[in-house]
Chains A and B, each alone.
Chain A
Amino acid sequence: MITVVQQFKAWLLLVILTILSVLLGSFFNLKIANHSLFIILVMAIVVLKGQQIIGVFMELSCAPKKWYMLLLSYIIIVPSVIAFIYIW
């Protein structure tokens, strides 16, 4: 059972990661960051955020593991493919 405290922590993490990704974008526009590293970091943030939504908000971490893994695989595979296309 997911608790309210866990959900609040997930929301806080989502807000922090969102602001962090915007800041990363600003750094990249100033040509401070390496392009490949920037793409990997931004997509890693997407994976972390997706994991919070799937596990905590959707409460799938308390659901049968195959369903949790199925949704989790989506939020890992899609950003990975996108990162591969941008870096390639």
Chain B
Amino acid sequence: MSNICLKVDNLSKRFFIRKERLTTFGLLKHLASKGYGCREFWALRDISFTLNRGERLAIIGANGSGKTTLVRILSGIYSKTGGQVEFKCDPSVVFSFWIGLNMNLSVMDNIYLFGAVHGMDRNFLKSRVDAILEVAALKDFCFSPLKFLSMGQIQWLALTVFFEGLFELLIFDETLRFLDKSSAEKSMVYFDKIANSGKTLIAVSHDMEFIKKYCTSAIWLDNGCIRRQGEAAEVVAAYEQLSNNLQES
């Protein structure tokens, strides 16, 4: 069996950005001129890399460098404009922890809903509900609407449900940014498990310590192109050096 989990070849993504405010007259004018009042914006250009099973890849870069667009294409949310993306295993995606949660539903309902979003059925979750509530420290709130909980509690609940899933390839984008110190420490236990279990991971993060600790390789994106790729520590060091230089200047 091939060791490759994901192969990306010359991946490109183009968006059309409106040049001016859309008005009826403007729309008609642009339709007539076939220009549609838009300009091209290449969010990604010729991205190529291979991800092996068990590899933990970090995607880093400044805001607007194309990190989120890249993981959205890998997750199937955006379609690509050019190139090839070949998956050998099904990815599981967590971008924003509240996606799939409903603030008006109870904690209990949200466990089933969020679980379903991440591929867990009701029977699978039924046996784990007590443990999830215990870990999330929400046993007394299981029938309260989610909107009465704090952001940190909601995020920790979502992550607790998510950690129950059995994933081969996990893609996540800045998922830990709202956690308090204690929950962040607890979630690190999960990432320790991932690191030791040989699971494959793609992480988008600005937390360089996290990347250095949990990722084996990294890609540094700059204006939609790969600026550097290689071992995580080496790429992060180069990125941090540039950031420091920019701050000093």
B and A form one assembly:
no
